[in-house]
A and B are shown apart, each in its own frame.
Chain A
Amino acid sequence: GENVEQHPSTLSVQEGDSAVIKCTYSDSASNYFPWYKQELGKRPQLIIDIRSNVGEKKDQRIAVTLNKTAKHFSLHITETQPEDSAVYFCAASIGYSTLTFGKGTMLLVSP
């Protein structure tokens, strides 16, 4: 089955810096890659997703890039703010099947 590796497991940045979280996947048939954000004590929520026919997608301060050849995708957060502090999960799926999640990255943004 699909395997998703996520790095780093923790990331500390200063407010205003950029943050990058990287994921790799094993199954070349995977074609949907969402990112979920889970604030402390809250439920995971989708923040951005990308399909395999697109190389990059941006939504205000967040962007996701996909390299199908290398089988990796990344989340980029620019101008980080304290409210960006959370655990971020990447995931991958084939078609409309189940999601396989990475183990998560705890992002801490210090004022």
Chain B
Amino acid sequence: DVKVTQSSRYLVKRTGEKVFLECVQDMDHENMFWYRQDPGLGLRLIYFSYDVKMKEKGDIPEGYSVSREKKERFSLILESASTNQTSMYLCASSIGGSKNIQYFGAGTRLSVL
């Protein structure tokens, strides 16, 4: 059974803080993704990675960066958190190749005050 684990379920940070959201998958998946989920806006792709040390911008990368130093771990970084980054953040992974079924983590609800 695929397991995608996000390090925190809830986070409260202050404006201007540097925030790290961590995601780990245990199925040796090639691809990893970060989304934010807001009511009425669905799932919007922030960044994704098809390999270690590789990253690609998604649809809404502004204000975010990512790091993938190991295959199983994909980190989302908010360099200077702002209130408009208050959201639910979902990590996902997929095996890659012809199989693009994505498996999601439980999400991190981030509040920036």
In the bound complex, residues from chain B placing their C-beta under 8 Å from that of A49 are 101
In the bound complex, residues from chain A placing their C-beta under 8 Å from that of B96 are 96
**Which residues 75-111 of A have a CB within 8 angstroms of B?**
89, 93, 96-104
Q: Interface of A with B (CB < 8 Å)?
A: 1, 6, 9, 32, 34, 42-46, 49, 89, 93, 96-104
Minimal Cβ-Cβ distance residue in A for B44:
A101
Q: Contact between B43 and A44 (Cβ–Cβ < 8 Å)?
A: yes
Minimal Cβ-Cβ distance residue in B for A45:
B104
Q: Contact between B33 and A98 (Cβ–Cβ < 8 Å)?
A: yes
Chain A contact residues: helix, strand, loop or mixed: loop
Q: Contact between A96 and B97 (Cβ–Cβ < 8 Å)?
A: yes
In the bound complex, residues from chain B placing their C-beta under 8 Å from that of A42 are 106
Q: Interface of B with A (CB < 8 Å)?
A: 4, 33, 40-45, 48, 58-59, 90, 96-98, 100-102, 104-107
List 7 extra interface pairs beyond A44-B43, A101-B43, A102-B42, CB under 8 A. A43-B104, A43-B105, A44-B104, A46-B101, A96-B98, A97-B100, A98-B48
Contact partner of B40 (CB less than 8 A), chosen from A46, A89, A101, A103, is A103
For the complex formed, measure the closest distance between the CB of B6 and the CB atoms of chain A, giving whole angstroms.
Answer: 9
In the bound complex, residues from chain A placing their C-beta under 8 Å from that of B102 are 46, 99
In the bound complex, residues from chain A placing their C-beta under 8 Å from that of B33 are 98
In the bound complex, residues from chain A placing their C-beta under 8 Å from that of B100 are 32, 93, 96-97, 99
For the complex formed, measure the closest distance between the CB of A1 and the CB atoms of chain B, giving whole angstroms.
Answer: 7
Q: Contact between A103 and B106 (Cβ–Cβ < 8 Å)?
A: no
Task: Please report the C-alpha to C-alpha distance between residue A44 and residue B4 in the assembled complex, in whole angstroms.
Answer: 12
